[in-house]
Structure 1
Amino acid sequence: NIESAHINTVAYKRIAVHGFAFKKDTNDTRESAAINVVRDLLSEHANVVVYDPKVPAGEIVTDVLGKGQVNPRLTVATSAYEAAQGAHAIAIVTEWDEFKKLDYAKILAGMQKPAFLFDGRNIVDLAKLRELGFRAHGIGR
């Protein structure tokens, strides 16, 4: 739970969701955990920015909100860096290889402080991220 990890509230905070497909190397979103993660964040009034390298933006919006629906607090980014720019937290929801290789120092520089990172897929080195200055947490470890 993102709120229980000292972020207090996600209301009106920018949360970057990295990954939307149910697993890496696919654009399949059926039963993706990201759908409920994003819905829960929106229900708490967070501003959610989703990035997935394969899932089309329209599909992300439809999966979360329903066909033809819009919510100004949900946007889709074209890169992980764009999603994280100005964010208070990042939630890694799909284990895309590119998320292992990101320049997290660059990402941290563009985030609100304190900057949180929640790794739901056990793909990043939390100790290294903490050394950089993130408040990094593994989910489900």
Structure 2
Amino acid sequence: MGGFSFEAKPVPLAESTMQVGFMGPYDGKEDPETLTFRSATAHLRNNSAGATATISVCLPRKSPDGGLAGGGAVHAPTLAEYCREARPVVSGTTLRWGTESVDGEFLVLTMNPTQPGAAEVDSVTFEYKRDAAHGGQSGVERVDGLRYVVRAS
């Protein structure tokens, strides 16, 4: 995964929170599995907007990708419209993926500016462990080549 980009047009600060779906389902082409995260970090640069960036697991509301997976992006203050459940990724958070059903989960990046300006996420780092059925491997993966930009006016 890499090379994805999205640059939002400036919007008023009160409407500027951006939700970007990524690491979506595999369209049923692989065996479903559970990942257990130790951490997930979005790396911000050029952050004149004083933005925070968080990564959450989304259990989709209306379709297997919730309308966000695969790089979909929307201005929305919360994930309530897209996810039946959204859990910030912290140590111990699990992700069920590899299934093309509304029971499969995907990751969402939330960028929340706190003042007028721009913020860019250029990479994310995950530390996780695969379930026993998939070898139980663990490690750290850094995804570079991203360019998600949110602008608040």
Give the alignment's TM-score, normalised by structure 2: 0.27
Bigger radius of gyration among the two: 2
